[in-house]
């Protein structure tokens, strides 16, 4: 039974007959006159009245929003927890699987399963329908709606002018009230974990009944927003129950273009919140589609501007192009961002053409002419040459000789090299090129740790505060993938004290071993604790560190000691040092280039792990999926020769299969949507001599395949073509 947008559940008898399964106790009781929809009003009356008084005292009505009424977080928490206790206390003591099935019905936006739905028939499973009945009680829904309204009120009050200081910052008291209430709820759920099985699905039901199914935002003070905020709190703090918070009804109801346009146009507002800001409402592939749509809309605007500029010049100043120095207007009127790049020095060629480009030009679709100096291939619409271009960029930047990145041998993850001697403009160029690749939908053959993508989505981190072991543990979670040894050592430090440990952070670069600590200042100032050479011998003369971005000129000073009282902060600052401070100048240069094309708000629709998957794709190739999406020109998919082709390719090791994919498409990684997102065409070609090898056109993702006499000949010729052709990726 679908829920309506006015907040009440649609309950005509004819609708119930369509959606409920017959021959169950619950159904028979309902049609016999059962009053389950209004059951237990007396039991809920007391907490409901208390909750309504709490909402009135909190100035819920729009006419009273400017009235400042202090809320007691302790009293408010007590009322909220009592209301939640009333909501969940008489729910069946069923196992988790039955609640999961009931939740799956609500997640689809229904109150009960459709007639043709798949439902358990075992009598032991009949409890799920009773669970749905209880979750559909009006008194229970009304009580939870009040709880959701209060949570929305807490957020709304935090953003009211009355609860902000003269700088517009949230007051300490308002923030403390919110944190206190959230912590009380989390503690309650920790002590009563079964309540999550009820609260999650019912909050989804509340949201779906108060959302109009067309808006991409919800009012901050609304019941719908409050329900989402409770779900968000549970989603972020109850990882074992995340399936109870997901609801993809919004992703199915809203058009991708509407989501993208509203996200681009929406400014940060205290009055509304965008649905994309809730992680659990949209799966990763929907967020990827939204981002691509935003990029497409920006490209369309840039192309339209170029067309208008060209039309205006032709109409008013037809000869200006000839007089303009070095054809400046020509760049203004081009519909593409066109780069001419040789394979010999790809980074320098890219830098020479990109550093002087206006930002508006960078928003146009990218096209690349790539090859040797005198023979440049043209990148066509399907983007094969752009893939090869970015592959070469990544290879050049990641080389050990470039000195820009360091790669962990065990994990294979790369990160900025501390003390790199490369000029900072090279990191700015790399940030710009990476943004262009993401903007144009090219998957990159790189492997960065999750913290890299966290900084892209969240921005520069602040210096850690003294927030105890909880903050230290949170910092360590971003070290485990790329700094495993350091993470284990710091975890050991949290468990036991190490005597006489200096409060300093190490750095080994350019033949020197440094120990650095920070003085309490804003921004924090690095101070040298000690300097030794590679063999550990003390360097008596203070070196002048003129590494790019480094200005540590002070003589060495003695650091403090790590104690039981400050070791949590030391662990957090150590993680901050490894991931940010030791490479801060490189990070800032990279972000300067990156944000010329993609702003932080556009990326904020991703979680770090999802952004990593979107940028890097997957190294796993599903050859069956590639076969299903392959197109043919001159061959038939069911022909014996093509079936032999796929039987042969399927027998190859995965690494060889990926070489075939790279030979045809130039793609080294599989995009987030799978191999079906790539263009792969097998075209029949007629050759005079069957000694000819297959060729490819990466521009069009096409394999030109002659018809060989036997499977053995096909295997030999195709294998040789792949090995010989990888450096040039076919014919371009």
Catalytic residues: 699
Provide the sign of the torsion angle of the four alpha carbons 67, 68, 72, 77, taken in this order. positive
Count how many residues are written for the chain: 732
What torsion do the CA atoms of 45, 46, 49, 54 make, to the nearest 10 degrees? Answer: -140
Q: Which residue has the tokens 């005509």?
A: 12
Judged by DSSP in three states, 495 sits in helix
What torsion do the CA atoms of 499, 500, 506, 510 make, to the nearest 10 degrees? Answer: -130
Distance (Å, whole) CA 110 – CA 125:
19
Angle at 452 between CA 448 and CA 455, to 5 degrees: 165
Distance (Å, whole) CA 475 – CA 494:
12
Q: Which residue has the tokens 């679709």?
A: 365
Is residue 353 exposed (0-12), middle (13-18) or buried (19+ Cβ within 10 Å)?
Answer: middle
The span from the first CA to the last CA of the chain, in angstroms, equals 56
Q: List 371's β-bridge partners, or say none.
A: 342, 376
On whether the CB atoms of residues 203 and 148 are closer than 8 A, the answer is yes
What phi-psi label fits residue 163: left (phi over 0), alpha (psi between -120 and 50 degrees) or beta? alpha
Q: Would you tell me how many other CB atoms lie within 10 Å of the CB of residue 375? A: 10
Judged by DSSP in three states, 595 sits in coil
* Residue spans of beta strands (DSSP E) within 629-680: 631-633
On whether the CB atoms of residues 471 and 400 are closer than 8 A, the answer is no
What phi-psi label fits residue 560: left (phi over 0), alpha (psi between -120 and 50 degrees) or beta? beta
Phi, psi at 416, each rounded to 5°: -55, 140
Listed residue (178, 26, 169) closest to 102, CA to CA: 26
């Amino acid at each position: 039974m679908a829920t309506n947008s006015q907040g009440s559940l649609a309950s005509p008898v004819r609708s119930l007959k369509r959606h409920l399964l017959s021959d169950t106790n619950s159904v028979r009781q309902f049609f016999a006159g059962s009053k389950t929809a209004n059951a237990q009003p007396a039991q809920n009356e007391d907490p409901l009245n208390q909750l309504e008084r709490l909402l009135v005292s909190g100035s819920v009505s729009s006419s009273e929003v400017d009235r400042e009424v202090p809320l007691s977080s302790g009293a408010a928490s007590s009322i909220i927890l009592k209301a939640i206790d009333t909501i969940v206390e008489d729910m069946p003591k069923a196992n988790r699987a039955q609640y999961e099935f009931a939740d799956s019905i609500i997640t689809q936006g229904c109150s009960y399963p459709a007639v043709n739905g798949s439902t358990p028939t075992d009598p032991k499973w009949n409890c799920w329908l009773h669970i749905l009945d209880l979750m559909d009680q009006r008194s229970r829904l009304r009580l939870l709606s009040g709880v959701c309204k209060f949570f929305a009120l807490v957020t709304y009050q935090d953003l009211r002018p009355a609860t902000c200081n003269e700088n517009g910052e949230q007051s300490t008291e308002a923030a403390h009230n919110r944190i206190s209430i959230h912590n009380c709820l989390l503690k309650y759920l920790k002590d009563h974990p079964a309540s999550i099985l009820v609260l999650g699905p019912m909050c989804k039901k509340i949201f779906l009944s108060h959302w109009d199914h067309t808006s991409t935002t919800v009012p901050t003070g609304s019941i719908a927003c409050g329900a989402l905020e409770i779900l968000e709190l549970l989603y972020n703090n109850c990882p074992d129950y995340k399936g109870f918070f997901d609801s993809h009804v919004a992703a199915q109801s809203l058009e991708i273009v509407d989501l993208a346009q509203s996200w681009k146009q929406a400014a940060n507002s205290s009055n509304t919140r965008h649905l994309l800001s809730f992680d659990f409402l949209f799966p990763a592939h929907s967020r990827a589609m939204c981002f691509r749509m935003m990029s497409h809309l920006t490209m369309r605007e840039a192309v339209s501007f170029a067309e208008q500029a060209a039309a205006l010049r032709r109409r008013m100043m037809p000869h200006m192009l000839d007089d303009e120095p070095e054809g400046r207007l020509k760049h203004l009127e081009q519909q593409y961002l066109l780069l001419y790049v040789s394979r010999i020095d790809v980074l320098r060629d890219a830098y020479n053409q990109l550093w002087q480009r206006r930002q508006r030009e960078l928003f146009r679709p990218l096209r690349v002419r790539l090859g040797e100096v005198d023979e440049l291939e043209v990148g066509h619409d399907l983007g094969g040459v752009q893939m090869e271009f970015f592959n070469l960029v990544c290879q050049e930047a990641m080389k050990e000789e470039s000195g820009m990145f360091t790669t962990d041998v065990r994990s294979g993850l790369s990160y900025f090299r501390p003390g790199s001697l490369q000029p900072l403009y090279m990191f700015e160029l790399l940030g710009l090129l990476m943004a262009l690749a993401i903007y144009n939908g090219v998957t990159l053959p790189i492997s960065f740790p999750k913290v890299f993508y966290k900084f892209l989505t969240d921005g520069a981190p602040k210096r850690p505060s003294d927030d105890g072991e909880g903050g230290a543990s949170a910092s360590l979670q971003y070290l485990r993938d790329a700094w495993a040894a350091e993470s284990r050592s710091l975890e050991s430090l949290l468990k036991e004290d190490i005597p006489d440990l200096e409060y300093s952070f190490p750095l080994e670069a350019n033949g020197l071993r440094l120990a650095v600590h920070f003085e309490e200042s804003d921004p924090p100032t690095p101070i040298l604790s000690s300097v030794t050479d590679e063999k550990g011998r003390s360097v008596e003369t203070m070196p002048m560190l003129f590494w790019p971005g480094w200005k540590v000129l002070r003589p060495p000073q003695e650091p403090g000691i790590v104690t039981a009282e400050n070791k949590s902060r030391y662990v957090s600052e150590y993680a901050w040092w490894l991931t940010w401070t030791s490479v801060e100048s490189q990070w800032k240069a990279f972000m300067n280039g990156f944000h010329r094309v993609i702003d932080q708000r556009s990326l904020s629709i991703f979680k770090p792990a999802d952004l990593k998957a979107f940028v890097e794709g997957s190294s796993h190739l599903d050859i069956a999926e590639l076969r299903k999406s392959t197109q043919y020109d001159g061959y038939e998919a069911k022909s014996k020769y093509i079936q032999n082709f796929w039987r042969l390719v399927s027998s190859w090791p995965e690494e060889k299969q990926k070489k075939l994919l790279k030979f045809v498409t130039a793609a080294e990684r599989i995009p987030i949507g799978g191999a079906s997102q790539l263009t792969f065409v097998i075209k029949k070609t007629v050759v005079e001599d069957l000694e000819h090898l297959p060729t490819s056109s990466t521009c069009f993702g096409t394999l030109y395949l002659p018809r060989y006499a036997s499977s053995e000949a096909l295997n030999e010729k195709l294998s040789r073509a792949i090995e010989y052709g990888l450096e040039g990726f076919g014919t371009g």
